[in-house]
């Protein structure tokens, strides 16, 4: 793990990748970094940003600029948050708690994953402003029980992931045996012990402090252990969930309700009709359907059809210019995942804090160079190739 006083070596979010790759066992690195099949969607997320250009104006007084952004009823210090990511605490020690601490200190949103290895209640005790992301099927009694637990914990923004009716074909994950629960084998054991930074500072430290990690937030009760020879496999099939189930949940849930995984303006219209508070345009970081389009190309049409909803964005954010491009196209807010995961692997709390500062400083620099003082009138600064 990189010492906090050496973080000056990290000059951009992508610099964290090499450190994380060195620390993590291969199975965990590929679980976190690889997409599905041929990685076409994952890679295209970056190409979409690369093919979108900015047009600056000069001699504008930008000395009073601000990167604060309001969504729903809160003004955040920056226009980005931390995406939900499962099994983060297997990669970095108490990663979910570090995300919660940093997001509170930096005043940005953090979405807890339904596949987190830390109970939502423990995270809420650190940061009461967190959101929660859930994977649900069409069993309304289980949906209701989970949503009751979420609300009782003090969380009032619920994000339902809707782009996983069946699991994506993550070939690297399957080859490495990284499924829930993982079945110990010679390859995984060798992989673990040959990465001592991770083995001692994350895995063994976790086992000694709190025992074998479990999927903590998948339902109303504690789920399966992350590593087991005998526990049943977690069921991933959610192929009967539909808009009627979402409408039922909307009528039942009194907090803010958002869906994540939207790639069609037509679905944005349907979400608005159901009465949702927002949608997250996302292709799951290229981890579900390979050759699925980049959500960047859907922002403008979605913004036209959003009604009173918020249009949020996720997938491929690596630079401050990426954030500004998404906002200029019509997104109200953005989220990033992998860069923050790799930052917590690299240097824990200090790594995540540094990552937030890097991205915020790049956004501030970008709007200054564009001739803008805030993030609310960026549309005229966007140019498509």
Show which residues are catalytic: 284
By C-alpha distance, which of 103, 94, 77 is closest to 355?
A: 103
Q: Is 39 left (phi over 0), alpha (psi -120 to 50) or beta?
A: left
Q: 3-class DSSP state for residue 284?
A: helix
Which residues are within 8 A (CB) of 196 and not within 5 positions of it... i.e. 6 or more apart?
A: none
Name all contacts of 357-360 with Cβ < 8 Å and 24+ positions apart: 357/106, 358/10, 358/11, 358/12, 358/13, 359/13, 359/78, 359/80, 359/317, 359/319, 359/320, 359/323, 360/67, 360/77, 360/78, 360/106, 360/320
Decide if 136 contacts 146 (C-beta within 8 A).
yes
By C-alpha distance, which of 194, 193, 165, 189 is closest to 176?
A: 189
Query: Beta strand 74-76 with 69-71: parallel, antiparallel or unpaired?
Result: antiparallel
Euclidean distance between CA atoms 129 and 115, whole angstroms? 19
Euclidean distance between CA atoms 346 and 371, whole angstroms? 35
Q: How many CA atoms lie within 13 A of 284 on its CB side?
A: 27
Euclidean distance between CA atoms 363 and 313, whole angstroms? 16
Euclidean distance between CA atoms 326 and 314, whole angstroms? 9
Alpha helices in 111-264 (DSSP H): 120-126, 140-152, 171-176, 186-193, 196-198, 205-210, 243-252
Pair of tokens at residue 150: 């979420």
């Amino acid at each position: 793990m990189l010492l906090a006083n050496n973080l000056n070596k990290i000059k951009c979010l992508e610099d964290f990748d090499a450190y994380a790759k060195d620390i993590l066992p291969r199975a965990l690195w590929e679980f976190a970094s690889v997409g599905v099949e041929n990685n076409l969607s994952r890679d295209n997320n970056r190409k979409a940003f690369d093919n979108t250009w900015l047009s600056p104006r000069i001699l504008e007084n930008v000395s009073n600029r601000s990167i604060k952004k309001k969504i729903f009823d809160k003004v955040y210090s920056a226009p980005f948050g931390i995406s939900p990511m499962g099994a983060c605490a297997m990669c970095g020690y108490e990663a979910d708690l570090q995300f919660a601490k940093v997001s509170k200190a930096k005043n940005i949103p953090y979405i807890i994953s339904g596949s987190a290895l830390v109970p939502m209640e423990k995270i809420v005790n650190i940061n009461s402003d967190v959101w929660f992301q859930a994977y649900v099927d069409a069993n309304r009694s289980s949906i209701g029980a989970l949503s009751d637990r979420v609300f009782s914990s003090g969380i009032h923004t619920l994000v339902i992931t809707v782009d996983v009716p069946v699991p994506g074909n993550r070939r690297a994950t399957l080859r490495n045996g990284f499924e829930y629960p993982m079945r110990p084998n010679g390859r995984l054991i060798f992989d673990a012990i040959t990465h001592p930074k991770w083995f001692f500072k994350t895995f063994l430290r976790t086992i000694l402090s709190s025992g074998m990690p479990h999927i903590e937030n998948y339902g109303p009760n504690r789920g399966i252990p992350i590593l087991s020879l005998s526990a049943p496999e977690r069921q991933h099939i959610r192929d009967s969930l539909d808009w009627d189930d979402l409408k039922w949940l909307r009528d039942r849930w009194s907090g803010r309700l958002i869906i994540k995984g939207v790639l069609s303006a037509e679905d944005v219209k349907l979400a608005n009709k159901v009465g949702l508070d927002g949608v997250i345009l996302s292709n799951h970081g290229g981890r579900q359907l390979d050759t699925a389009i980049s959500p960047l190309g859907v922002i403008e049409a979605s913004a036209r059809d959003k009604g009173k909803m918020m249009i949020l964005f996720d997938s491929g954010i690596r630079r401050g210019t990426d954030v500004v491009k998404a906002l200029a196209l019509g997104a109200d807010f953005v989220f990033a995942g992998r860069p923050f995961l790799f930052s917590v692997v690299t240097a824990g709390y200090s790594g995540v804090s540094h990552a937030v500062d890097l991205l915020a400083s790049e956004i501030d620099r970008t709007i200054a160079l564009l001739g803008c003082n805030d993030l609310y009138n960026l549309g005229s600064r966007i140019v498509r190739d």
